[in-house]
């Protein structure tokens, strides 16, 4: 087990899509982009399960997975080895994800269509930060001083 | 974190990393503790006024000056408790005040329906992602048409939103929203700070709304039962003050001999008689669920079937009039002993009237306009002391209940043709 640093939260807000790699029982790999990896606690993350897809199927057969996250401010990348633990269909994590999906779904005409089936909870096995190469930039004005 | 010694290097790094995070948070906190002090000051300001607009203004000003949120909105629940209405905003042009949001629509609507805070830092990416999902569903024929996309007030290009339900105990008062065109503009500390101001704001808003309501209520209770006055204040689809047409039974009454009495008796005596009379009549009006439209000295106009609709307006009117006559007979006995000769005259008519708020800003009255009110007034004018005169329409409505005497056709002021009238003798 590994502990997630606070710093990784910046990469978990879904600004840049994350990627998840899983394997079917027969070893066939699958990589997919997902909108967000959610922080649960320092040892767990959650992925949303809205549709039955290869990721959902694979981790139920073969729980090990790799998540790749990017901090949208620094472009530092994070590799997370994770392992599917269990699916939650109620409780605070489920509610938080469900609420967010409901809010966005209503904005694109998918109210009631696009629903959270479960919050899939993964244990974090390891976490590695890959610092992005910093290319010195000319002085630029920091955009958006206001919030 | 096993016992293996080769693990200690990552562990140390981890600790250093955590320490770094703690230091950063402490620095943040030091900066924010000043803000917390200012927040305390704000909460004092908020609770020092009962003016709703002032409360909203103070909260939004604090959002910008203290917390640095340039775009903020307060939406309040309406009577239906299924929609929010934008009550105040800061940092928008136009302000958007008055815009509505249905519960369940967007971040704001979902925060209202779930009564939980929500922080989103990737609205653009999320919406783009779900649009893609929708397109795939449509392409695969798994979705036909689909629902409407909700349109909400606020920034068109908002990337970050932090929305907080304004709760007083478990009751939702509204939603406080801050937003930004920048992604991930808000963090956990912002949630905490917004939560503190939000709690105070919810209570202050609720108090101001209650105060506003009580003020209007005390005015409205002049005309309506307490339940009805509340219905009017909270508004809603069937606001009785909206002009409408309805068939009503109108009762006019006044005291015969009152003008002469008022001219000769001393004012205290006149007021005393009026007070007794109004108190007794008022009780009977409430009992029969009539609406007191107005009273002028000794005269009163009461109608039935609006705003509360009833099945038997004519029957109620007649029963009330008879009860009033009985009651006034007792009063008159007492007044006679004091040397005042007074008698009650009543006129009752039924027909369509236009009813609603009449007047001008600052002085609105609830009133009925139509032939029916004139007819009732004229019949009242014709009535001898102790007489209750009914129009033909009313007489036929209550035929089975009362004994009447045909008065023939009366020539009434304002009516081209003579009008048949019936004298109500007694209840059967």
| Interchain proximity A99–B116, CB inside 8 Å | yes
Residue A30 lies in a domain: yes
Question: B90: closest CA among B65, B72, B67?
Answer: B72
Question: B54: closest CA among B45, B44, B63?
Answer: B45
Chain B residues within an 8 Å CB radius of A100: 118, 120, 126
The whole-number pLDDT of residue B144 equals 63
Residue from A8, A48, A97, A103 whose CB has the most chain B CBs within 10 Å, to mutate: A103
The whole-number pLDDT of residue A141 equals 56
Residue A89 lies in a domain: yes
Instruction: Kindly list the averaged pLDDT for each block of 10 residues, start to end, along chain B of length 428.
Output: 58 74 73 67 76 89 84 88 90 88 92 93 86 82 68 87 92 94 87 84 88 75 64 61 88 89 85 88 89 82 87 95 93 82 92 84 74 93 93 94 93 89 93
Residue A142 lies in a domain: no
CATH, domain range B9-215: 3.30.450.40
Chain A residue with minimum CA distance to B110: A103
Chain B residues within an 8 Å CB radius of A123: none
The whole-number pLDDT of residue A69 equals 94
Residue A48 lies in a domain: yes
Chain B residue with minimum CA distance to A9: B187
| d(C-alpha B77, C-alpha B61), whole Å | 21
| d(C-alpha A17, C-alpha A28), whole Å | 23
| Interchain proximity B104–A100, CB inside 8 Å | no
| Interchain proximity B127–A108, CB inside 8 Å | yes
Residue A55 lies in a domain: yes
Sequential DSSP letters for B39-106:
HHHHHHHHHT---HHHHHHHHHHHHHHTT--SEEEEEEE-TTSSEEEEEEEES-SS--TT-EEETTSH
| Interchain proximity A13–B126, CB inside 8 Å | no
CATH number, residue A12: 2.30.110.10
Q: Structural domain tally of chain A?
A: 1
| Interchain proximity A100–B120, CB inside 8 Å | yes
Q: How far is CA B109 from CA B85, B128, B157, B164, B320, in A?
A: 11, 20, 18, 11, 49
Residue A135 lies in a domain: no
Mean pLDDT is lowest, of A26-40, A48-62, B55-69, B368-382, for B55-69
| Interchain proximity A110–B147, CB inside 8 Å | yes
pTM of the model: 0.62
Domain residue ranges of chain B, discontinuous segments joined by +: 9-215, 238-427
Q: Which CATH number fits domain B238-427: 3.40.190.10, 1.10.10.60, 3.30.70.1230, 3.40.50.720?
A: 3.30.70.1230
Range of the domain at A114: 6-130
| d(C-alpha B33, C-alpha B69), whole Å | 17
The whole-number pLDDT of residue B1 equals 45
């Amino acid at each position: 087990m590994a502990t997630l640093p606070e710093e990784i939260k910046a990469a978990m807000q879904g600004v840049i899509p994350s990627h998840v790699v899983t394997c079917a029982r027969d070893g066939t790999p699958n990589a997919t982009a997902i909108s967000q990896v959610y922080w649960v606690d320092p040892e767990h993350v959650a992925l949303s399960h809205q549709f039955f897809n290869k990721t959902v199927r694979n981790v139920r057969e073969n729980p090990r997975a790799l998540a790749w996250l990017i901090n949208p401010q620094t472009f530092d990348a994070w590799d997370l080895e994770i392992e599917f633990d269990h699916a939650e269909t109620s409780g605070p994590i489920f509610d938080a994800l469900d609420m967010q999906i409901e809010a966005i779904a209503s904005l694109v005409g998918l109210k009631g269509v696009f629903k959270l089936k479960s919050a899939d909870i993964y244990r974090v096995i390891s976490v590695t930060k890959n610092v992005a190469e910093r290319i010195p930039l000319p002085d630029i004005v920091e955009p958006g001083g206001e919030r | 974190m096993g016992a293996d010694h080769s693990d200690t290097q990552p562990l140390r790094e981890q600790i250093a990393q955590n320490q770094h995070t703690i230091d950063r948070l402490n620095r943040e906190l030091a900066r924010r503790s000043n803000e917390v002090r200012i927040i305390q000051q704000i909460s004092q300001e908020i609770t020092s006024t009962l003016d709703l607009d002032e409360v909203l203004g103070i909260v939004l000003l604090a959002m910008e000056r203290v917390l640095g949120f340039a775009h903020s909105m307060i939406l309040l629940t309406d009577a239906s408790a299924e929609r929010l209405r934008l009550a105040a905003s800061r940092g928008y042009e136009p302000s958007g005040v008055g815009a509505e949001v249905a519960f369940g629509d967007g971040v704001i609507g979902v925060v209202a329906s779930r009564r939980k805070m929500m922080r989103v830092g990737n609205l653009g990416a999320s919406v783009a992602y779900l649009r893609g999902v929708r397109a795939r569903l449509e392409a695969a024929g798994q979705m036909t048409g689909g629902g409407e996309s909700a349109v909400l007030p606020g920034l068109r290009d908002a990337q970050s939103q932090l929305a907080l339900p304004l709760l007083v105990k478990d009751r939702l008062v509204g939603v406080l929203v801050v937003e930004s065109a920048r992604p991930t503009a808000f963090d956990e500390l912002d949630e905490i700070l917004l939560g503190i101001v939000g709690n105070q704001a919810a209570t202050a808003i609720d108090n101001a709304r209650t105060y506003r309501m009580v003020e209007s209520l005390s005015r409205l209770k002049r005309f309506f039962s307490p339940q009805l006055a509340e219905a009017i204040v909270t508004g809603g689809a069937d606001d009785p003050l909206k002009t409408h047409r309805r068939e009503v039974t109108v009762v006019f009454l006044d005291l015969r001999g009152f003008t002469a009495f008022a001219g000769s008796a001393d004012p205290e005596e006149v007021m005393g008689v009026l007070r007794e009379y109004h108190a007794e009549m008022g009780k009977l009006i409430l009992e029969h669920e009539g609406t007191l439209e107005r009273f002028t000295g000794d005269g009163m106009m009461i109608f039935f079937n609006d705003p509360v609709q009833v099945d038997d307006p004519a029957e109620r009117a007649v029963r009330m009039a008879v009860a009033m006559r009985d009651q006034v007979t007792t009063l008159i006995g007492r007044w006679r002993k004091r040397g005042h000769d007074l008698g009650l005259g009543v006129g009752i008519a039924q027909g369509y009237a236009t009813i609603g708020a009449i007047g001008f800003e600052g002085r609105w009255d609830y009133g009925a306009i139509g032939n029916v009110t004139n007819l009732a007034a004229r019949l009242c004018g014709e009535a001898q002391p102790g007489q209750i005169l009914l129009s033909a329409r009313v007489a036929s409505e209550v035929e089975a209940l009362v004994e009447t005497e045909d008065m023939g056709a009366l020539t009434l002021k304002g009516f081209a043709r003579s009008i048949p009238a019936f004298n109500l003798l007694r209840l059967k």
